[in-house]
């Protein structure tokens, strides 16, 4: 069962399009392995995954993917420096115990890193907080504050600042709203999701 680029979530599709063929990729928080399946099927990549949930690992194994169950907060230290051409962290950064240290690990293990995350500064989130006075529950952040796994909400501008502080070079960015790509102008207001391609 291999996936198709056209059915991927927009942030994953953007990443898939920009991964070079026949490269080594580590997908951190790979879920059911949709992105890995596309990278192996359409880009002939050697894709490896790291996933916390054993049920999702089992599903990946069923797709013929190589996925190790583990915690991205601790287990990235098991991988050698530059063991991969790309490390990918999609919609997981905001769940990390220390997003700053995780970014360091992404750039240590991979030559390049893709990071995607929901933008907490999207106008919908801002409006909900400002007018409602409550932690936002929106399309992009659908879970209540006490149940959400997102313990470190981040905005586009915050992430740019983190990348700068970490000496990471931002090579490319993509922004999405309403499941469609949008331009970079005013992204910190307009983007529901962001994808950064980084190197160091």
Binding string, residues 72-101; x marks residues near other proteins by CB under 8 A: ------xxx--x------------------
In the complex, the smallest distance separating the C-beta of residue 193 from other proteins, rounded to whole angstroms, is 29
- How far, rounded to the nearest angstrom, does the alpha carbon of residue 101 sit from its chain's CA centroid? 15
**Interface residues for other proteins in 156-185 (CB under 8 A)?**
none
Computed from CA positions of residues 7, 9, 13, 19, in that sequence, does the dihedral angle turn out positive or negative?
A: negative
The answer to the question of residue 70 lying near other proteins (CB under 8 A) is yes
**Where does this chain touch other proteins (CB under 8 A) — which range of 13-21, 63-71, 93-101, 169-177?**
63-71
Beta carbon nearer to other proteins, 68 or 135: 68
The answer to the question of residue 54 lying near other proteins (CB under 8 A) is yes
Residue pair 25/45 in contact (Cβ under 8 Å)? The answer is yes
CB environment 52-89: b (16+ within 10 A), e (fewer): beeebbebbeebebebeebebbeebeebeeeebbbbbb
Helical ranges in 19-122 per DSSP H: 34-43, 54-62, 72-75, 99-109
The answer to the question of residue 66 lying near other proteins (CB under 8 A) is yes
In the complex, the smallest distance separating the C-beta of residue 26 from other proteins, rounded to whole angstroms, is 10
As given in the structure block, the two tokens for residue 32 are: 């059911």
Whose CA is closest to 83, among 120, 47, 43?
A: 47
- Count CB atoms within 10 A of the CB of residue 130: 10
In whole angstroms, what is the distance from residue 175 CA to residue 190 CA? Answer: 8
**Where does this chain touch other proteins (CB under 8 A) — which range of 14-22, 57-65, 103-111, 155-163?**
57-65
The answer to the question of residue 186 lying near other proteins (CB under 8 A) is no
The answer to the question of residue 196 lying near other proteins (CB under 8 A) is no
In the complex, the smallest distance separating the C-beta of residue 15 from other proteins, rounded to whole angstroms, is 21
The residues that touch other proteins, with contacts defined as CB under 8 A, are: 48, 54-55, 57-62, 64-70, 78-80, 83
């Amino acid at each position: 069962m291999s996936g198709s680029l056209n059915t991927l979530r927009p942030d994953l599709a953007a990443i898939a399009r920009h991964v070079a063929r026949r490269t080594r990729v580590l997908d951190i928080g790979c879920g059911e392995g949709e992105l890995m399946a596309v990278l192996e099927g359409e880009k002939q990549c050697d894709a490896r995954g790291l996933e916390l949930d054993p049920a999702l690992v089992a599903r990946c194994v069923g797709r013929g993917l190589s996925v190790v169950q583990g915690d991205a907060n601790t287990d990235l230290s098991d991988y050698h420096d530059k063991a991969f051409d790309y490390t990918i962290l999609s919609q997981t950064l905001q769940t990390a115990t220390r997003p700053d240290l995780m970014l360091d690990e992404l750039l240590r293990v991979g030559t390049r890193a893709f990071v995607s995350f929901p933008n907490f500064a999207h106008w919908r989130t801002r409006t909900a907080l400002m007018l409602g006075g409550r932690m936002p529950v929106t399309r992009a952040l659908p879970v209540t504050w006490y149940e959400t796994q997102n313990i470190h909400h981040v905005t586009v501008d915050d992430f740019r600042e983190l990348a700068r502080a970490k000496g990471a070079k931002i090579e490319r960015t993509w922004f999405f709203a309403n499941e469609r790509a949008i331009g970079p102008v005013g992204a910190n207001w307009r983007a529901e999701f962001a994808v950064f391609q980084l190197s160091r």
